């Protein structure tokens, strides 16, 4: 008995919780985070190290930065693979979302199916990848027509809404086999959900850490109610598309990603002999469609902004695609290896903007430790990807935009440097759409560089400021777009889709 008490005393004495700032009563450190939590965390990292603790409401939150992120998500992935019981998480996808659910046997099956379907378009056979390429070409053509028309009508215009709709249309074609007109009312409602979504589920959401506020009439309750309504509308939209696909599904012909998920479920059922009564397809498709359109449209907004903010970079992109592709054809998937500066530019946009500064919050699935600190089960974990992308020990002058940091001495893409960029998370929660997203960004950047020239309104120079949410969205900016040639090549390339 004495030895048991001694063991407990020694264990308690060796417990070391992460350090952190003093918290205010009731609200904790929520007010100190401000409208850019990742920058607040950057300051705390300099003071407390790569692992520290804050309070949000009455909840303790451990924030991981730098090297501790890989340690937690890769080397101790099972311990840190959970999701906290946030109210907003229970709303997304009617509580069946892959991205917002905690790890379980159901979750693993769900994720495996979605991965299988997404891989068809990103790392599958060339025919499937070329189908994805044609969807991009079709949407670039439509987008440039709108850009040129808007430039002619008002000289300088804001591109942000058009980029959101364009991206959503690409993912609609991938997921459902069809695109929509830009003014389609149903589609506009679905696309319009993005901003509300990212503001609500971003790390540090007041509704999530202090849910009792929902019981009072205030702006926070209104935001929560709107978020719930928008999610129900989105879920209805997805379920309707899945029902249409089930009614006409043929296993011999996979038309799009929804068919791919249905086929993956049937294959799994045949393989295991298990009958799946739960609807796995709708939440899987909803996750891919919803998450990809937000992150991708944000990335495209930054790509255009960086091009006009640094015109010498845009000129260099144009020179590279002209040299490799020439003016006689369009850039394609096969050109990726021959366009290292395009790839370096994309990785530097991701690193420099860190437009997903914090991942969706994690939680611990068991009592564990990280970098010598004890972390109890069910602790909320914030993953500060910004800290990796702006670490001066990893990147020389991280505050400067410099695509050359991703090129080696021979001018080829430095794959080791590229792999260090943190945008899509790591380990068991790594984004299943990462390869598809990178392919989309490559085709968009190379095609825009090849087909048009973008300038900025000198009376309203763009700023690199942003609105914080799950993604960092740039402030509105104004551009003008002119074609470098006519659109004959794009028209010919997209004719096959019609």
pLDDT tens for 150-197 read 999 989 999 998 998 899 899 898 899 888 877 777 777 767 666 566
Report whether pLDDT(86) > 70.
yes
- The answer to whether residue 7 is domain-embedded is no
Task: Tell me the CA end-to-end span of the chain in Å, nearest whole number.
Answer: 80
Report whether pLDDT(498) > 60.
no
- The answer to whether residue 25 is domain-embedded is no
**Model pLDDT, residue 1:** 47
State mean pLDDT over 136-157. 94
Packing angle of the helix pair 160-176, 126-154 (nearest 10 deg): 150
State mean pLDDT over 210-214. 55
- The answer to whether residue 272 is domain-embedded is yes
Average pLDDT, the chain: 85
Q: Look-up: residue for tokens 């890769």?
A: 74
- The answer to whether residue 43 is domain-embedded is no
Asked which of 7-16, 118-127, 338-347, 470-479 is least confident by mean pLDDT, the reply is 7-16
Report whether pLDDT(57) > 70.
yes
Contact 63, 44 (CB under 8 A): yes
Q: Which long-range contacts (CB under 8 A, 24 or more apart) does 278-281 make?
A: 278/96, 278/106, 279/96, 279/239, 279/242, 280/109, 280/110, 280/113, 281/242, 281/246
- The answer to whether residue 283 is domain-embedded is yes
Contact 428, 77 (CB under 8 A): yes
Report whether pLDDT(489) > 90.
no
Total domains, the chain: 1
**Model pLDDT, residue 112:** 77
3-state secondary structure of 82: strand
Contact 235, 286 (CB under 8 A): yes
- The answer to whether residue 68 is domain-embedded is no
Check which CATH number belongs to the domain holding 149 and give it.
Answer: 1.10.630.10
**Model pLDDT, residue 7:** 44
**Model pLDDT, residue 12:** 46
| pLDDT > 90 in the chain, percent | 52
pLDDT in tens, 327-357: 999 999 999 999 999 999 999 999 999 999 9
**How would you list the strands of the sheet with 51-56, edge to edge?**
51-56, 59-64, 380-383, 362-363
Asked which of 103-112, 147-156, 323-332 is least confident by mean pLDDT, the reply is 103-112
Asked which of 201-205, 285-289, 381-385, 461-465 is least confident by mean pLDDT, the reply is 201-205
Report whether pLDDT(213) > 60.
no
Q: Which domain holds residue 122?
A: 85-347+398-413+428-497
Asked which of 169-173, 197-201, 214-218, 292-296 is least confident by mean pLDDT, the reply is 214-218
**Model pLDDT, residue 224:** 60
Residue 275: pLDDT band (50, 70, 90) is low
Q: Which residues contact 215 (CB under 8 A, 6 or more apart)?
A: 221
- Nearest of 79, 22, 97 to residue 53 by alpha carbon: 22
- The answer to whether residue 369 is domain-embedded is no
**Model pLDDT, residue 188:** 73
- The answer to whether residue 236 is domain-embedded is yes
């Amino acid at each position: 008995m004495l030895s048991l008490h001694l063991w407990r005393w020694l264990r308690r004495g060796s417990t070391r919780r992460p350090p952190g700032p003093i918290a205010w009563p009731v609200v904790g450190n929520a007010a100190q985070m401000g409208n850019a939590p990742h920058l607040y965390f950057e300051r705390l990292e300099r003071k407390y190290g790569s692992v520290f603790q804050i309070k949000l409401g009455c909840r303790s939150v451990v924030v991981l930065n730098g090297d501790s992120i890989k340690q937690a998500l890769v080397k101790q992935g099972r311990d840190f693979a959970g999701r906290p019981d946030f109210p907003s998480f229970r709303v997304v996808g009617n509580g069946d979302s892959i991205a917002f659910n905690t790890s379980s046997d159901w979750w693993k099956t769900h994720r495996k199916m979605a991965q299988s379907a997404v891989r068809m378009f990103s790392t599958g056979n060339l025919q499937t990848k070329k189908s994805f390429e044609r969807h991009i070409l079709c949407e670039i053509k439509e987008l440039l027509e709108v850009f040129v028309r808007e430039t002619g009508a008002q000289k300088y215009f804001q591109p942000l809404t058009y980029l959101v709709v364009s991206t959503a249309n690409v993912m609609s074609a991938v997921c459902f086999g069809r695109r929509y007109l830009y003014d389609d009312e149903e589609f506009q409602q679905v696309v319009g959900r993005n901003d509300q979504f990212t503001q609500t589920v971003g790390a540090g959401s007041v509704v999530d850490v202090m849910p009792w506020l929902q019981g009072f009439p205030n702006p926070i309750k209104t935001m929560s109610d709107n978020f719930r309504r928008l999610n129900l509308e989105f879920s209805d939209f997805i379920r309707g598309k899945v029902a249409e696909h089930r009614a006409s599904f043929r296993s011999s012909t996979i038309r799009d990603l929804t068919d791919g998920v249905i086929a993956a479920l049937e294959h799994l059922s045949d393989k295991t002999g298990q009958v799946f009564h739960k609807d796995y397809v709708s939440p899987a498709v909803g996750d891919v469609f919803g998450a990809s359109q937000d992150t991708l449209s944000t990335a495209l907004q930054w790509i255009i902004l960086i091009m006009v903010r640094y015109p010498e970079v845009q000129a260099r992109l144009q020179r590279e695609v002209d040299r490799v592709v020439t003016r006689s054809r369009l850039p394609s998937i096969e050109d990726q290896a021959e366009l290292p500066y395009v790839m370096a530019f994309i990785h530097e946009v991701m690193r420099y903007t860190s437009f997903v500064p914090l991942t969706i919050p994690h939680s611990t699935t068991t009592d564990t430790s990280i970098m010598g600190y004890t972390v109890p089960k069910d602790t909320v974990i914030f993953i500060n990807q910004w800290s990796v992308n702006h670490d001066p020990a990893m990147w020389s002058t991280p505050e400067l935009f410099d695509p050359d940091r991703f090129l080696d001495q021979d001018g080829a893409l430095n794959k080791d440097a590229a792999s260090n960029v943190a945008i899509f998370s790591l380990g068991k929660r790594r984004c299943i759409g990462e390869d598809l997203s990178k392919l989309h960004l490559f085709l968009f950047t190379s095609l825009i560089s090849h087909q048009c020239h973008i300038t900025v309104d000198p009376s309203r120079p763009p700023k690199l400021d942003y609105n914080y949410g799950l993604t960092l969205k740039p402030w509105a900016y104004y551009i003008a777009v002119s074609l470098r040639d006519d659109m004959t090549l794009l028209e010919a390339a997209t004719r096959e889709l019609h």
